[in-house]
Structure 1
């Protein structure tokens, strides 16, 4: 059975629910250390021991580290208590093996858990006051608060009259503990800011992708709307000629109804794709009707780029007459978006476009010799790739993007269509 992992221990120690009693354990350990220090050195007769200290002072010295229980809740309290306790006990013994580290922990906590202007004012005022107060009370009757002056020998009376002052270097050392806490606080705030910034960037990217997706679907809707409207217009025209057809031969009437049925089936197929593309969108339909491009318009598209200085070779294989208008439109948009990305990002010297009609469907390849990119990285402006995927998805096709930095990019798509669609 394995023990707890390092991340689980870190989560346990940083859990706000555990802070108070963990600090209580630390305070209890320091209280025990303080009791041991006093009992072990109480009988010694040197200036580094607790000999001659009043019992009340010993109780205060033992209880003072318990204030560290509040080091994260109210760090000002243990900072003040431990500072005053250190000031009172310094004339008795300068060997603060427990009180000095405890005060350092309190000041460190002050730097971590309070804003720096507030924590600096508390730490600086307290650490400046300690050496000042120790010099003001030197040789004063306050000595009776810390030691039993009734039984002092000559050496101790001289030590009491000279009253060892709280050294400035000790205040500077304690201020360094506060500075370490401040650095920890700043590092924590920087990490939190970095996490928040990363989350905001991720949210912005997600919103941008959604916006691009909606815009692409809106464009698809306009394109498919025009295709469906074209076939519906054919149905209306054929229906309006019905009265004339009934006066002709039976074969002409049957052909007219056949044309109506073919146009209706084709319109329903394109309408189904449009509804599939827009099932998650919330756009407003654009009533503008404009003729939509197809494979026959690819030549003009590629020639326009060649005239602008980017050589584009176009090769059409197979007969495009039987390909549904919606499939042709999607192929045109794929080539258009791919060439747009080449112009904006690829820095290519040549592009090759191949369109092939086969039994499997309409296949499209666009290859450039530009600088390429990492397909797994963020879009970095290539939002047209999202639109390409959406257009291909509408026709249940496949889209493949192959690219590496400095090796160029190849975009290939296969757009299947049924025989019924081709004959419609």
Structure 2
């Protein structure tokens, strides 16, 4: 048998109990195997059988601790009354008291301790005529065995509590990892929607305009096709960066990637939209302040989605992107002069949901709908840091 298998077998409770019973049997047999000449106690076979009976029931000490205690107690009492020889040290009593204290219920184990203490006191008084120090030794030994059992019980309870806490922490860690994966998937889905919707919308508008002017205005047609290619390349680059995260092996170093879009990229975005024929004006009020990275990304994506909806659904000729910087918040407004109405809101439904989700993820709010003078408005309020940009 391999060494590891032998060790596992040796640690089984049944093997431990059999070995313990054998050890106690050996201990109580020593006065028969190695009798002392100056000892006046008579040695008989019946006395040996009583001594053996204090050890053999210990094989069942875990499965039936109180029955084992009764059998060992009865054998010890019989050995005491037979007195040939008397039980000098109640090894079996130590084991059953320890076992009862370690795994037993409160009242039975306390009753068992009381019976053993009483029995030992009566035996020493009536049969042994013991000296005071012998009372102290035997009774303290019984109490010590019971106390060791209580300590083992406390240690086991502490170990189980620590293990349960470790299992709970591991479960909570797994749940948090699952929530993080869900949040990341939602973020990737929003980004993919914004990137593809914006790029495809611009490409469709330019593709529809290209054939119309290909004969009458070749230069304009050429610019339209270049805009289509540019929108496609930009979309591919952003998708490559986005999907690169999903392809990374766990634990590997991330590949070099361009940073997420920020406020500085708004000018390029507006120029890209203006290439399809929509006049976009950018307005700013207040003192610009430092923005967290996720808020900058949210501003860019909201503007991108709002202008994409304008190009796809509004039939507008003009749009305004306005940033109003306050003390502790940024108010972003994107409005156009296109046609409002239910059809447009339904067509842009997924994008509008994405806008509200992005605002909520940053601790802000979003409102969309027809403007007071026509057109369509997107108003997003996001929290900012109070420190201004120097």
Normalised TM-score (structure 1): 0.50
In structure 2, relative to structure 1, the CA distance for the partners of 1:187 and 1:246 (3 Å cut) is same
Residues 46-67 of structure 1, C-alpha deviation per residue, up to 9 Å, x if partnerless?
A: 3xx235x6x4333222342122
Distance 2:290 2:218 in 1: 52
Distance 1:216 1:73 in 2: 52
Aligned to 1:266: 234
Distance 2:6 2:151 in 1: 20
Distance 2:111 2:103 in 1: 14
Distance 2:39 2:59 in 1: 33
Aligned to 2:354: none
Equivalent of residue 50 in structure 1, options 36, 42, 51:
42
Aligned to 1:153: none
Aligned to 1:304: 289
Contact 1:124 1:175 in 2 (8 A): no
Contact 1:235 1:264 in 2 (8 A): yes
1:68-83 alignment, distance < 5 Å? 68-83=58-73
Aligned-pair distance for 1:197?
A: 0.6
Distance 1:27 1:214 in 2: 57
Aligned to 1:96: 87
Contact 1:111 1:179 in 2 (8 A): yes
Aligned-pair distance for 1:234?
A: 0.9
Aligned to 1:209: 177
Contact 2:93 2:116 in 1 (8 A): no
1:294 to 2:263 alignment: yes
For the residue of structure 2 that corresponds to 1:304, the secondary structure is coil
Aligned-pair distance for 1:96?
A: 3.3
Range with bigger deviation, 77-86 or 35-44: 35-44
Contact 1:221 1:274 in 2 (8 A): no
Equivalent of residue 64 in structure 1, options 25, 32, 54:
54
Aligned-pair distance for 1:241?
A: 1.1
In structure 2, relative to structure 1, the CA distance for the partners of 1:213 and 1:294 (3 Å cut) is farther
1:225-240 alignment, distance < 5 Å? 225-240=193-208
Distance 2:127 2:118 in 1: 18
Aligned-pair distance for 1:239?
A: 1.8
Provide structure 1 residue ranges, at least 5 long, that are not aligned to the other structure.
139-161, 281-291, 307-311, 313-327, 334-386, 388-424
1:299-378 alignment, distance < 5 Å? 303-305=288-290, 329=297
In structure 2, relative to structure 1, the CA distance for the partners of 1:259 and 1:12 (3 Å cut) is same
In structure 2, relative to structure 1, the CA distance for the partners of 1:267 and 1:118 (3 Å cut) is farther
Contact 1:31 1:66 in 2 (8 A): yes
In structure 2, relative to structure 1, the CA distance for the partners of 1:125 and 1:95 (3 Å cut) is closer
Aligned-pair distance for 1:27?
A: 2.1
Aligned to 1:26: 20
Aligned-pair distance for 1:258?
A: 2.7
Aligned-pair distance for 1:279?
A: 8.4
Paired residue total: 265
Aligned-pair distance for 1:104?
A: 0.7
Distance 1:62 1:244 in 2: 110
Contact 1:108 1:180 in 2 (8 A): yes
1:178-217 alignment, distance < 5 Å? 178-217=146-185
In structure 2, relative to structure 1, the CA distance for the partners of 1:105 and 1:274 (3 Å cut) is same
Aligned to 2:341: none
Aligned-pair distance for 1:13?
A: 7.8
Aligned to 2:319: none
CA root-mean-square deviation? 4.5
Contact 2:65 2:99 in 1 (8 A): yes
In structure 2, relative to structure 1, the CA distance for the partners of 1:256 and 1:114 (3 Å cut) is same
Distance 1:263 1:217 in 2: 24
Residues 229-286 of structure 1, C-alpha deviation per residue, up to 9 Å, x if partnerless?
A: 2221211211221342133244443332232232223324434555555789xxxxxx
Provide structure 2 residue ranges, at least 5 long, that are not aligned to the other structure.
249-260, 268-283, 302-360, 362-390
